[in-house]
Amino acid sequence: TEIYTLSLHDALTISKKLGVKLHEDYINVNHDMETNIPGIYAAGDAVKSKIKQVVLSAAQGALAARSAYDYLK
């Protein structure tokens, strides 16, 4: 199990190499913050949202972490 915190540029570069679906230079995620590849999650500035605030990024990160936990169970 690995968790990474990346800059937006690094996240997009790695996502492209892994085959993660992007839209308008953002990582596509579902309501659980999961990408099109099972077990890969994204949150914060890397995903498209109307509001770019630390509190929203933190909430998305918490949701992504919980979703990853559930995936690994």
pLDDT band at 65 (very low <50, low <70, confident <90, very high): very high
What pLDDT does 6 receive?
77
What pLDDT does 17 receive?
93
Q: Is 48 buried (19+), middle (13-18) or exposed (0-12) by CB count in 10 A? A: middle
> Rounded mean pLDDT of the chain?
91
The dihedrals phi and psi of 69, each to the nearest 5 degrees, come to: -60, -50
Q: Using a pLDDT cut of 90, give the percent of the chain over it.
A: 74
pLDDT band at 3 (very low <50, low <70, confident <90, very high): low
